[in-house]
Structure 1
């Protein structure tokens, strides 16, 4: 065999060998002749399944719009609160992509690809507030030093004004202010109280110029006293309602903290080195917080807000601080030919004016 033929044969073999992987790679057209298998799990308000088996949620509607643009058929495969199994199925290509509440992470990026982000999820803290119903709960909020000090000051003022008025009026006005000390001081305190509350029965009236001067000063002073007392009372009731062992992120290392598997909240607690109780799904974690098994729950604010609103759990509240922000995206196997098309479709959907309305409908806000 001549050298020219040998060289030609080698070149041909090498060309065939290098072309094999390319021939084996799926093309975008291949996905249009079969249904895509889309992995998901129930994470309201991003993905939820009704009793009729129909899926809905912000992430679900995003995918439906993307699939419609790309003319892709698909079917959902639910992973029952098992994010690890869902990720494993994606890596082994048992499913074609994941659409749920998938946070973008460096660890995930090393194992598969992410589309462009479609939602910025702020991680927050939910705590249990003090009971707000019942006589005992109300009394417990009222009898605090914050409220008892102004009450004591108010009683002292009534005693001072009432006694002063009695000392001035007792001789010239005995019909209204009894000359006897205990009865007379009582008359003075009664007058000071009804004047302060603007009730003004008129059964007791000062007649001396000094008594009327005290009355005039007390009328204006009592307006300020009532306003201050009302503000203090309202503040005491609100603070009592919001009272919790966790007031902010700085309290989390000393508290019993819970989170939900597969959420951005779990990622944050791990990054902070917190010891946490991890629950498989949100409803279980929320009930653990309600019964006091944990003192705080670290999960995405949108998920927390939806759960509290859905079940009318007014004894739970979300602290104002946002711990971190994680982007949500569609997860796709590494090297998938669908990536570019999906990215373009995601950008088209999220830049359309209807997207903000969709976010508002499901999440109630567009910012973390």
Structure 2
């Protein structure tokens, strides 16, 4: 009896081991979607994601077969229906998608970047600050104050010395303004000087006031000129997209972000289309994921365009599994390992540099 029970136990153990082995050798049904450099559709799939999945499958000792999907939406539906075991690609992790599928650990953290042509400042751009309203208001206000001080000085002292200040009020006020300017700038030519106690009081008070005021005026004007002269025409941040045509992916979140800063979004289907619109001068800038932008941004164009990364709309890429997937945990562990040893970063860098 004992021998029969032992024999049955051995049969059961052998059955479970065989079933487990058969399960491990079953090819994983992998859906793939995305665009270059994450997924390049050739005779054999190439790109960042195929290279990454190859590393994961090798570590799991599992075979796999690809099924291509034109969009994440189609791949998600196939995953939810159980037609595939995992959907791989540059898939943004968000709460809305997580309602129907399960996400892996993020394999890459990304952001939007801005690609725009390099625009040099013209001669007018350099002198335009001198015609700004702030600069003109400051100069006009200073002239008014000088006129008031010159008039007051003429009334208190200039009329008493017509030989020096002239009989005509305009000439006398002009000399008073000149004296106020000389006093404010601490030049001190000595051609005119107050002689009466009231005149000296006015000029003494003006010395103190002008010392404080001149410092403030000079600092304000210098700041205005410096800030204005340093303003670049090259688009490097979201604030500079106002009134500009911007090629963007056709995602509502990105389109609305451009509209919120006063820009006009031009939806495109892929980054190559956006880059071509920029080169054809049909748009003023491109707002797209940084990795595809770096990939299409050719080395020979780096003197004509500039790529700016300003931490715009950070997002995370992950793989999609059915809600009750037994495969997800094993893939999560591999993703964490590949991130820790910088394998994923090396793969991405290699593909971006492959266009150089």
Q: Specify the TM-score bucket, using the shorter chain as the normaliser.
A: 0.5 to 0.7
Map of 2:253 onto structure 1: 268
The answer on 1:215 being equivalent to 2:203 is yes
Residues 179 and 236 (structure 1), Cα distance of their counterparts in 2 relative to 1, 3 Å cut:
same
Map of 1:164 onto structure 2: 152
CA deviations on 1:292-325 (whole Å, 9 max, x unpaired) are 7557865458988998xx94789998899x6x65
Does the 8 A contact of 1:176 with 1:187 survive in 2?
A: no
Map of 1:343 onto structure 2: 332
Map of 1:5 onto structure 2: none
CA deviations on 1:58-113 (whole Å, 9 max, x unpaired) are x899x499749937799xx9x9xxx936886896999976354x312467658875
Map of 2:193 onto structure 1: 206
Residues 319 and 338 (structure 1), Cα distance of their counterparts in 2 relative to 1, 3 Å cut:
closer
* Displacement after TM superposition at 1:156 (Å): 0.7
Larger Rg belongs to: 2
Q: Aligned equivalents of 1:168 and 1:314: distance in 2?
A: 64
Does the 8 A contact of 2:278 with 2:285 survive in 1?
A: yes
Q: Aligned equivalents of 2:112 and 2:290: distance in 1?
A: 5
Does the 8 A contact of 1:286 with 1:297 survive in 2?
A: yes
Normalising by structure 2, we get a TM-score of 0.53
Q: Aligned equivalents of 2:151 and 2:305: distance in 1?
A: 48
CA deviations on 1:33-74 (whole Å, 9 max, x unpaired) are xxx99876446xx999xxxxx978xx899x499749937799
Normalising by structure 1, we get a TM-score of 0.52
* Displacement after TM superposition at 1:259 (Å): 0.9
1:159-308 to 2 correspondences below 5 Å: 159-170=147-158, 181-196=169-184, 198=185, 200-208=187-195, 209-222=197-210, 223-228=212-217, 230-231=219-220, 234-235=223-224, 238=227, 241=231, 258-260=247-249, 266-269=251-254, 276-282=265-271, 285=274, 293=282, 299=288
Map of 2:105 onto structure 1: 116
Residues 176 and 146 (structure 1), Cα distance of their counterparts in 2 relative to 1, 3 Å cut:
same
Map of 1:152 onto structure 2: 140
1:43-192 to 2 correspondences below 5 Å: 63=52, 67=56, 70=59, 84=70, 98-100=88-90, 102-105=91-94, 114-118=103-107, 121=110, 133-170=121-158, 181-192=169-180
Number of residue pairs matched? 303
Residues 118 and 228 (structure 1), Cα distance of their counterparts in 2 relative to 1, 3 Å cut:
farther
* Displacement after TM superposition at 1:343 (Å): 0.9
* Displacement after TM superposition at 1:227 (Å): 1.9
CA deviations on 1:313-344 (whole Å, 9 max, x unpaired) are 89998899x6x653322456888765322212
Does the 8 A contact of 2:26 with 2:62 survive in 1?
A: no
Structure 1 unaligned blocks of 5 or more: 1-18, 49-53, 362-368
Does the 8 A contact of 1:178 with 1:184 survive in 2?
A: yes
3-state DSSP class of the match of 2:173? helix
The answer on 1:328 being equivalent to 2:313 is no
137-146 or 89-98, which deviates more: 89-98
Q: Aligned equivalents of 2:120 and 2:33: distance in 1?
A: 42
3-state DSSP class of the match of 1:117? coil
* Displacement after TM superposition at 1:133 (Å): 1.4
Does the 8 A contact of 1:279 with 1:285 survive in 2?
A: yes
3-state DSSP class of the match of 1:206? coil
CA deviations on 1:161-205 (whole Å, 9 max, x unpaired) are 233334445367779756654444333333333443x35152445
3-state DSSP class of the match of 1:278? strand
Structure 2 unaligned blocks of 5 or more: 1-15, 41-45, 350-356
* Displacement after TM superposition at 1:270 (Å): 6.7
